[in-house]
Amino acid sequence: MLAALIGLLALAGPAAAQGGARASIIGGSTARTDQWPWAAFILALDRQDRGYACTGTVVAPTLILTAAHCVQDVVTGRRTPLGRYTVVTGSSDLRDESTRQLSRVRRAVVYPGFDRFKLHGDAALLELATPTTMPAIALAEPADVALLGAGLPTYIAGWGQRGGPGSARPTLVLRKARTFVQRRLFCRNHSRPYYPFFNFSFQLCTITAPTFNSGTCHGDSGGPALAFRADGTPVQIGITSLGPANCDTRLPDVYTRADLVAPWVAGFIGAPAVPAAG
């Protein structure tokens, strides 16, 4: 199943991405599993039998946090059937059968504040049919607002294209890069050419100035933007949501603020299991 889906994804290219999904890394370097143990790779077939990929993060043994547009098509509003997901955890290299863990999805829940037209609240949870043994990443809380300060470094990772148009084939190994949080006014003004709805109440943005040599691209939205608390604890501050269609690293990438959805996620962690949706 995994090999077949990867093959379909490679043939489909960016156009098969759910609602223009993006998130893989241009530039950067290979990420090891022990550096990003909470990273999850999501493969699926949409209702037109096109393969698409997204990234997510482990937030509990049976819960993967990702982007809502990885679950619900932003154009039609339709959701991907549950039986068409495969989630990979435990290995930054998807080919490594010795460590990777494959899970099916028993339930998909979109953040109730998701606006699919403006991509505000772009977050969703996938409930795994079988738990992963990989650790969970902490999500930003109100006390972590200082980590969203302009000029502070953040770290992004994902599977997918390593270049713009003409580079449709996804990478099979997780890649990471360092980038920098930007001021609200910068985000609003510089994202306007491709996205007129930036709102700091819901979102943050990053760019890799002054080199502009890395950023996100087509392939697997829903990946994490990480920062580090004063005690060195990694914390997820953002969920990769969107960016320029041509993956231009001179324009900012936009993320859903993790502190916005953290209370909602916390309500699912430790909650009693419910019957799976059809």
pLDDT tens-place string over residues 83-140: 999 999 999 998 899 999 999 999 999 999 999 999 999 999 999 999 999 999 999 9
Mean pLDDT over residues 208-234, rounded?
87
CA angle 32, 262, 102 (to 5 degrees): 40
Count up the domains in the chain and report the number: 2
Write down the pLDDT at residue 44. 85
What local confidence, expressed as pLDDT, does residue 170 receive?
60
Sorted by sequence, the CB contacts under 8 Å of residue 189 that are 6+ apart come out as none
10 plus 130 within the same structural domain = yes
Residue pair 123/140 in contact (Cβ under 8 Å)? The answer is: no
Count Cβ atoms below 10 Å from residue 216 Cβ, excluding itself.
Answer: 34
Distance of CA 252 to the CA centre of its chain: 16
Euclidean distance between CA atoms 71 and 77, whole angstroms: 10
Q: Are residues 120 and 212 in the same domain?
A: no
Q: What is the DSSP letter of 173?
A: B
Tell me: do 116 and 172 sit in the same domain. no
Residue 110 lies in a domain: yes
Query: 62 is written with which tokens?
Result: 């049976």
Output the CA–CA distances (angstroms, integers) from residue 146 to 71, 215, 227, 266, 276, in the order listed: 30, 22, 10, 21, 38
C-beta separation of 227 from 104 below 8 A: no
Residues 41 and 57 in one domain: yes
Domain for residue 25, yes or no? no
Please report whether residue 231 resides in a domain. yes
How does the average pLDDT of the chain come out, rounded?
Answer: 86
- 6: pLDDT strictly greater than 90: no
pLDDT for the residue 17: 35
Examine residue 254 and state whether it is found in any structural domain, yes or no.
yes
Same domain membership, residue 112 and residue 147? no
In the 8-state DSSP scheme, what is residue 11? H
**Cβ atoms of residues 91 and 168 within 8 Å:** no
Contacts of 45 (CB under 8 A, 6+ apart): 5, 8, 51, 52, 80, 84
C-beta of residue 33 within 8 angstroms of C-beta of residue 99: yes
d(CA 36, CA 179): 16
Per-residue pLDDT reduced to its tens digit, 207-219: 998 888 878 876 6
Same domain, 61 and 75: yes
Alpha carbon distances (Å) from 249 to 23, 113, 178, 245: 12, 29, 13, 11
Q: 248 and 229, same structural domain?
A: yes
Contact 254, 156 (CB under 8 A): no
Q: Is residue 277 part of a domain?
A: no
Residue 111 resides in a domain: yes
The verdict on 110 and 196 lying in the same domain is: no
Query: 104 and 162 share a domain?
Result: no
- The whole domain housing 102 covers 2-19+37-136+262-268
- The yes-or-no verdict on residue 1 having pLDDT over 70 is no
